[in-house]
Amino acid sequence: MKLTAFTDYSLRALMYLAVHPERLCTAKEIAETFQISQNHMVKVAYQLSKLGYVETQKGKNGGMKLSRPAGEINLGDAIRGLEPDFHLVECFNRKDDNCRISSACQFKSVLFEAQSAFLDVLDGYSLANITENELDLLGALGAA
């Protein structure tokens, strides 16, 4: 299972916001912290806002913050909302499936089970669980 870079950046942004709950954070500062494109981070912020994970404020003193406590943001739900699809292999997408053995293949059921297990594990964790080491994260971010 591999997450898209967009989902990776989104999770990093959520973690950043979780350890800076006292203030609005800008897409620019998050992008600079993680050395990624500011334009990409603006798209991340837009999607996180659209999904209800962050609140944004425009203007000179604008920025974003989590829309609810980190403990209420489930990682499995977030990843399901951020990932464009979970087509691990061609046959997971019936529309584009051109595999000759799809009708007889038993491997796809194994992959589907593995994918379900992956998401089930993520369902057991919240953003708070992965940011409870706040001081270590702040140190790694250069903010401690």
Confidence of residue 76 (pLDDT cuts 50, 70, 90): very high
Helix (H) or strand (E) segment spanning residue 8: helix 5-18
Asked if 59 contacts 68 with a C-beta cutoff of 8 angstroms, the reply is no
Say whether pLDDT at 143 is over 70: no
May I ask the CATH class of domain 5-85+126-141?
mainly alpha
pLDDT given at position 91: 76
Asked if 57 contacts 23 with a C-beta cutoff of 8 angstroms, the reply is no
pLDDT given at position 84: 85
Q: Long-range contacts made by residues 81-85, C-beta under 8 angstroms, separation at least 24?
A: 81/51, 82/4, 82/6, 82/7, 82/10, 82/11, 82/47, 82/51, 83/3, 83/4, 83/7, 84/4
Say whether pLDDT at 23 is over 60: yes
Say whether pLDDT at 24 is over 60: yes
Mean pLDDT of 118-138: 95
**What is the average pLDDT value for the chain, to the nearest integer?**
92
The label of the residue with tokens 């209420």 reads 72
Mean pLDDT of 51-78: 96
Tokens of 83: 């990932």
